[in-house]
Structure 1
C-alpha cells in the first residue's frame, strides 16, 4: 500500500518549526517598528522646523503649532510614534514627550 501524504509526526514537526520562527521574528519586528517610528519623529521635527522658518519668512512672526496646522503648513502636531511636538519662543521645534 503506497499512500502519499504527511504523517502526524511530520505535520507536528513543521508546526513546531513555524512556531519557533514566529517566536524569533515577532519581537524583532516590534523592536524595528519602534526604531522606525523614532526615526520618523526625528524627520518630522526637521520638517516642522523648516515650516516654522517658512512661516516666519512669510509672516514675520513665530507660529504656534495650531497656526501651522490651520494654514496647512503641516498636517499633524504629533510624531508617528504618538509623541507631541512643541515650538519654543525662539522657534525651535522639539518633542514634548507624550
Structure 2
C-alpha cells in the first residue's frame, strides 16, 4: 500500500517560497507604517493647532500643551510616531525630536 503525501523536497520548496515572500513584504510594510505615522502626526498637529486657536479665542491667551491637556482640549501630547508636541510663543504647534 502506497501512502500519499508530500516529499521532503516539496516541503523545502514550499518553505523557501514562503521565506522569499516574507523577505519581500516585511520591508514594504515597515516603510508604509512610517509613512502612516508621519501623516498621522501631520493631522494631529493640525488638530492641536485648531485647539490652540479655540483656547486662544476663549481665554485670550496662548496656552501651553499642559493647559490644553488639563482642560480637555487634547488627550495626548504625543504624535503617532512618538514625538512630543510643543507650542511656540506665537501659538504655532510643532513636533519636537523626542
Asked if these proteins are the same fold (TM beyond 0.5), I'd say yes
Q: For residues 5 and 53 of structure 1, what CA distance do their matches in structure 2 show?
A: 69
Partner of residue 68, structure 1? 68
Q: TM-score, normalised by structure 1?
A: 0.95
How many residue pairs end up in the alignment? 98
How far residue 47 of structure 1 moved from its aligned partner, in angstroms, is 0.4
Instruction: Please name the residue that 1:91 is paired with.
Output: 91
Q: Establish whether residue 9 from structure 1 lines up as the match of residue 20 from structure 2.
A: no
Unaligned runs of 5+ in 2: none
CA RMSD in angstroms, aligned pairs only: 0.9
Tell me the residue number matched to 2:23: 23
Query: In 2, Cα distance between the equivalents of 1:57 and 1:5?
Result: 74
Q: Which runs of 4+ in 1 moved over 2 A?
A: none
